[in-house]
Chains A and B, each alone.
Chain A
Amino acid sequence: AQSVTQPDIHITVSEGASLELRCNYSYGATPYLFWYVQSPGQGLQLLLKYFSGDTLVQGIKGFEAEFKRSQSSFNLRKPSVHWSDAAEYFCAVGGSWGYQKVTFGTGTKLQVIP
């Protein structure tokens, strides 16, 4: 069965610092990978996705993620964090077989300090 692990429950960074959120997945074939962001009281918004091609993908709000098959990872990065990036971030994996039953990680809550 497919699974996603986000090892960091909570991360605190200073505004202007760089950010990396970790995501490890388990899937038997080529996965479809996603990062979503959830602001308090809101639904999830798609940041970026990967399913083939260039392993470095660019998303909205200045985020990027790199797919590393050898490490089964899909880490999210941002070079300079803004206070408005404070939110919860979810990594998700979907399959290439039939309907895309997407499995979500448990999330990483990002706090940004001035």
Chain B
Amino acid sequence: NAGVTQTPKFQVLKTGQSMTLQCAQDMNHEYMSWYRQDPGMGLRLIHYSVGAGITDQGEVPNGYNVSRSTTEDFPLRLLSAAPSQTSVYFCASSYSDREDGYTFGSGTRLTVV
């Protein structure tokens, strides 16, 4: 099925560990974004990409890195996990930068202990 695939679905990390959250889409979307969702705070933009090789920071980029080597993949790296990064992470993609709205993945629930 076409869509946005995120892996893993659940992850527990220890403080200081690093890891990569994977995101892949098969809809040939140029625009991809990472959001984190925390209770009472809605979704906050971490990083986004407007095409392969082009990324930029969102609202809450500290502690995260991204790269976009292909149109399909947009991994999110946690450099040194902190308890404040406990959250649900969503990857989203869209065809156009305005009208289409996003297609979201099903999320990764990350707990940092």
Contacts and interface: CB of A to CB of B under 8 A. Distances in A.
A104 interface: yes
Contact of A99 (B35, B42, B50, B90): B50
Interface in B26-46: 31, 33, 35, 40-45
B98 A100 contact: yes
Interface residues of B, number: 28
A44 B103 CA distance: 8
Given A42-B106, A101-B48, A101-B58, A106 B98 contact: no
A43 B90 contact: yes
Interface of A: 4, 9, 32, 34, 36, 41-46, 49, 51, 90, 94, 96, 98-107
12 contacts: A32-B98, A32-B99, A43-B104, A43-B105, A46-B101, A96-B98, A99-B97, A100-B98, A101-B45, A102-B33, A104-B42, A106-B41
